[in-house]
Amino acid sequence: MIDTFPPFASPRSAPPPAEEDLRLLLLIRHFELTLLRLFEAGQLSGTTHTCLGQEYIPVALKPLLEGDDFVFSNHRGHGHFLARHTDPHGLLAEIMGREGALCSGVGGSQHVYHRRFLSTGVQGESLPVAVGTALTLKDTGALTCVYIGDGTWGEGSVYEALNMARLWEVPLLVVVEHNGIAQSTPTTAQMAGTVAGRAAAFGIPHHRTASTEIDEIRAELALLVAEVRSASVPLVVEFATHRIGPHSKGDDTRTPEEIALAADHDWYTRYAGLFPEAFGRLDREMRELVERAAADVSARPPSVWERP
Amino acid sequence: MTRVSEHLNRALHDLLAADPGVHLLGEDITDPYGGAFKVTRGLSGRFGDRVRSTPLSEGAVVGVGAGLALAGRKAIVEIMFADFATLAFDQLVNFAAASTSMYGRPVPIPLVVRCPSGGNRGYGPTHSQSPQKHFLGVPGLHVFELSPFHDAGRLLETMLALGRPCLLFEDKVLYTRRMYEDGVVDELFRYEVTGGVARVFLEGAAEPDCTLVVHGGMAHRALAAMRDLLLEEDVVCELLVPSQLYPLPDLPGLERAGHVCVVEDGSEGGGWGAEVARVLHPRLWSTLRRPITLVASAPSVIPAAPHLEREVLVQPGHIRHAIMEALS
Ligand SMILES: Cc1ncc(C[n+]2csc(CCOP(=O)(O)OP(=O)(O)O)c2C)c(N)n1
């Protein structure tokens, strides 16, 4: 992949992300923005949780994951999915209940099972299941990756699973998207102690990163993730991140200052400012791609489901 | 006009104001969010740390509620979606309910677990269920449901006065409807509430062709079916809505019913309707002309896509069809 971005002068020394990565970031961003727009226009029902601001996490992890790995996702899973399977049409059809839906429109936004990607809408439920799949991957070189939010560390199943993961030495990569808030409740009002301390209690290695730079993150994690595969051990990777959008839709009760603070960390505005031309071109390209996908999927007939 | 969610919100305000021993726990229930369905709005501002937002820990939070109750307070716990009440099953069944009698003497546990339930909102399989049936038949555990007829304040008082753990199911679509007032449903139907059971009837009608028994969240769909049956099929129905689903209270007037039909939103099989029929069959055996009709949602997960969800959950058309079939 040729990097088409001009070198830029920035207070940060990191080079711009590869075009391929930026495309994926923008695909996810426009996918999520489109969902919010469709909701506003009354074309979507139910609910949805967008990953605005957090897109870089699954994008950074993408090349660290292999084809045989299981990936478990949660309610905020569109980015996790798109970084695993570049199929915005299939996912949108699932969310809209149209022909070509990944799960016939039964699961919707929060319940997708496609190849070895699985999401569920009940917090904390996935971790024990992830341990079970990881048991079958022991010594195969593959791993199970499971995304959870900081709030989900309230659920007891998380600890029961971590205990077994360590006891039985399974290749489990726990990715914590620590955005400092769960729905409306700040983490400080939910969590005593820290994620690091909790991982340490089980003797599970823990790595925290505040970086939002794709390549920097990959460099930090490459060896650690390789170790999960080769030594068959669990690992907790904690991303200090920011949710720049609402929890679902129109339900952000943070103060304007708090929202602005989160938005300060948005890779989108940063990249747009750093290399406006190349960014603008890709941004337009991906926005149009998603717009076309939305028009295409909206015009499809409803999904068909054979009820068991 | 008062929306059901506002009515319940006011009832909670009044209850916490009247009784300083009442505590309220749940995820995201404090202001400014005021709960996922805004039922707890304004309470934390007014009552301080008697109203607590909790971590995502349904099982433990219900346990904490039981502990508050054990220690002499009264606890109301909100589970964000009824589907997650399964996470508190052990605390409810093996602790809260069992404790009221397993120590050889009555132990009061005034605990109410509020569960926003039901579908028709496109929330998908894990956020749309009506899991009432999973909590039936547990000794010591009472199951209630909010309705547009019953005063929520009185309901909360009744539940807490029992001194036993109660589940209160609250249909999420019902939240958005208005409370009925002054005995009037619409231009056709009137209602009265006696002994905790709401009876909706056609004014002046003698014996109904069919009496429907439903839980609060089903009331509007049952009413829609009753209206169609009356206007298009000339079938006169009466509706009974008990606020207490288990143990089933005495249901009035069934001896003169031409037929009885129980409708529930839960999935078919092992449901509330079967429990109602179990209680009613021996009582009505001599007057029943045919077996009680049970209508439930399909034995299925609840799809997210609205066109699929509609097929699975009970709709007015299903009720009408089932009644016509039974009466034919
Ligand atoms: C068992 C359970 N309880 C509650 C919820 C409702 N809920 C959905 S997401 C969420 C907050 C999750 O917070 P966190 O894990 O930090 O993830 P984030 O939303 O910040 O990405 C809550 C309370 C749920 N889906 N499952």
The tokens for A51 are 């990953």
Query: Could you tell me whether strands B237-242 and B244-246 are parallel, antiparallel, or unpaired per DSSP bridges?
Result: unpaired
**How far is the alpha carbon of B84 from chain A, nearest alpha carbon, in Å?**
7
Strands (E) across A120-275 are located at 144-149, 172-178, 181-182, 185-186, 206-209, 235-240
Instruction: Please give the domain boundaries of chain B with CATH numbers for all domains.
Output: 4-176 (3.40.50.970), 189-327 (3.40.50.920)
CA A158 to ligand 1 center in whole angstroms: 13
Residue A2 confidence (pLDDT) above 90: no
Signed CA dihedral, B221, B224, B229, B235: sign only: positive
From chain A, pick out residues whose CB is under 8 angstroms from the CB of B310: none
Residue A10 confidence (pLDDT) above 80: no
Partner residue facing A156 (CB), from B28, B59, B122:
B59
Q: Are B191 and B200 in contact (CB under 8 A)?
A: yes
Q: Are A157 and A125 in contact (CB under 8 A)?
A: yes
Contact A152 B56 (CB under 8 A): yes
Any atom of ligand 1 within 6 Å of the Cβ of A182: yes
Any atom of ligand 1 within 6 Å of the Cβ of A191: no
Any atom of ligand 1 within 6 Å of the Cβ of A303: no
Query: Which secondary-structure segment (H or E) carries A268?
Result: helix A267-274
**How far is the alpha carbon of B151 from chain A, nearest alpha carbon, in Å?**
29
Using DSSP, state whether A164 is helix, strand or coil: helix
Nearest CA in chain A to B34: A184
Residue A92 confidence (pLDDT) above 60: yes
Q: Are B29 and B16 in contact (CB under 8 A)?
A: no
Nearest CA in chain B to A46: B122
Mutation test residue for ligand 1: of A49, A72, A78, A183, the one with most atoms within 8 Å of CB: A183
Signed CA dihedral, B57, B63, B65, B71: sign only: negative
Contact B56 A154 (CB under 8 A): yes
Residue A6 confidence (pLDDT) above 80: no
Nearest-atom index, ligand 1, CA of B27? 23
Answer whether B161 touches A (CB < 8 Å).
no
Q: What pLDDT does residue B204 have?
A: 85
Calculate the alpha carbon distances from A267 to A33, A49, A272 in Å.
Answer: 15, 19, 8
Phi-psi region of B141 (alpha: psi -120 to 50; beta: other; left: phi over 0): beta
Q: Which residues pair with B192 in a beta bridge?
A: B199
Contact A182 B56 (CB under 8 A): yes
**The overall pTM is greater than 0.80:** yes
Instruction: Please give the domain boundaries of chain A with CATH numbers for all domains.
Output: 20-298 (3.40.50.970)
Residue A202, number of CB atoms within 10 A of its CB: 17
Residue A16 confidence (pLDDT) above 90: no
Q: What pLDDT does residue A13 have?
A: 52
Q: Which residues of A touch B (CB under 8 A)?
A: 45-47, 95-97, 101, 104-111, 120-124, 151-156, 182-185, 189-191, 251, 253, 302-303, 305, 307-308
**How far is the alpha carbon of A108 from chain B, nearest alpha carbon, in Å?**
5
Kindly report the average pLDDT of chain A as a whole number: 94
From chain B, pick out residues whose CB is under 8 angstroms from the CB of A95: 304
- For residues B191-202, one letter each, b for 16 or more C-beta atoms within 10 angstroms of the residue's C-beta and e for the rest, the string is bebeebbbbbbb
What is the tens place of the pLDDT at every residue in A32-72?
Answer: 999 999 999 999 989 999 999 999 999 999 999 999 999 99
Residue A11 confidence (pLDDT) above 70: no
Q: What is the dihedral of CA B181, B228, B206, B182, to 10 degrees?
A: 0
The DSSP result for A6-39, as a single string, is PP---SS-PPPPPHHHHHHHHHHHHHHHHHHHHH
Contact B308 A305 (CB under 8 A): yes
From chain A, pick out residues whose CB is under 8 angstroms from the CB of B118: none
Residue B299, number of CB atoms within 10 A of its CB: 13
The tokens for B141 are 């555990």
Half-sphere exposure of A293 (CA within 13 A, CB side): 26
CA A182 to ligand 1 center in whole angstroms: 6
Nearest-atom index, ligand 1, CA of A124? 1
CA B162 to ligand 1 center in whole angstroms: 33
Residue A3 confidence (pLDDT) above 60: no
Sequence letter at residue B18: A
Gap between the Cα atoms of A180 and A183, Å rounded: 10
Q: What pLDDT does residue A100 have?
A: 98
Residue A222, number of CB atoms within 10 A of its CB: 12
Contact A108 B304 (CB under 8 A): yes
Contact B308 A124 (CB under 8 A): no
Q: What percent of chain A has pLDDT over 90?
A: 93
**How far is the alpha carbon of A47 from chain B, nearest alpha carbon, in Å?**
6
CA B251 to ligand 1 center in whole angstroms: 40
Answer whether B42 touches A (CB < 8 Å).
no
- For residues A153-183, one letter each, b for 16 or more C-beta atoms within 10 angstroms of the residue's C-beta and e for the rest, the string is bbbebbeebbebbbeeebbbbbbbbbbbbbb
Contact B305 A189 (CB under 8 A): no
Q: Which residues pair with B262 in a beta bridge?
A: B213, B294
Closest CA to A284 of A55, A20, A29: A29
Q: So what's the ipTM on this one?
A: 0.95
pLDDT < 70 stretches in chain B: none
Contact A303 B305 (CB under 8 A): yes
Partner residue facing A305 (CB), from B36, B55, B303:
B303
Gap between the Cα atoms of B322 and B326, Å rounded: 6
How many CB pairs below 8 Å do chains A and B form together?
Answer: 116
Contact A106 B122 (CB under 8 A): no
From chain A, pick out residues whose CB is under 8 angstroms from the CB of B125: 106-107, 111, 121
What is the tens place of the pLDDT at every residue in B99-126?
Answer: 999 999 999 999 999 999 999 999 999 9
**How far is the alpha carbon of B33 from chain A, nearest alpha carbon, in Å?**
6
How open is the CA angle A272-A278-A280, to the nearest 5 degrees?
Answer: 55
From chain B, pick out residues whose CB is under 8 angstroms from the CB of A129: none
Residue A99 confidence (pLDDT) above 80: yes
Q: What pLDDT does residue B205 have?
A: 82
Sequence letter at residue B111: L
Long-range interactions of B177-184: CB distance < 8 A, separation 24+: B177/B3, B177/B4, B177/B148, B177/B220, B178/B1, B178/B2, B178/B3, B178/B4, B178/B148, B179/B2, B179/B3, B179/B4, B179/B7, B179/B148, B179/B149, B180/B148, B180/B149
Gap between the Cα atoms of A299 and A37, Å rounded: 16
CA B257 to ligand 1 center in whole angstroms: 47
The DSSP result for A129-142, as a single string, is HHHHHHHHHTTTT-
Gap between the Cα atoms of A268 and A210, Å rounded: 16
CA A226 to ligand 1 center in whole angstroms: 30
Q: Are B319 and B261 in contact (CB under 8 A)?
A: yes
From the candidates B79, B126, B172, which should be mutated to test the interface with A, based on the most A CB atoms within 10 A? B126
Split at pLDDT 50, 70, 90, the class of A14 is: low
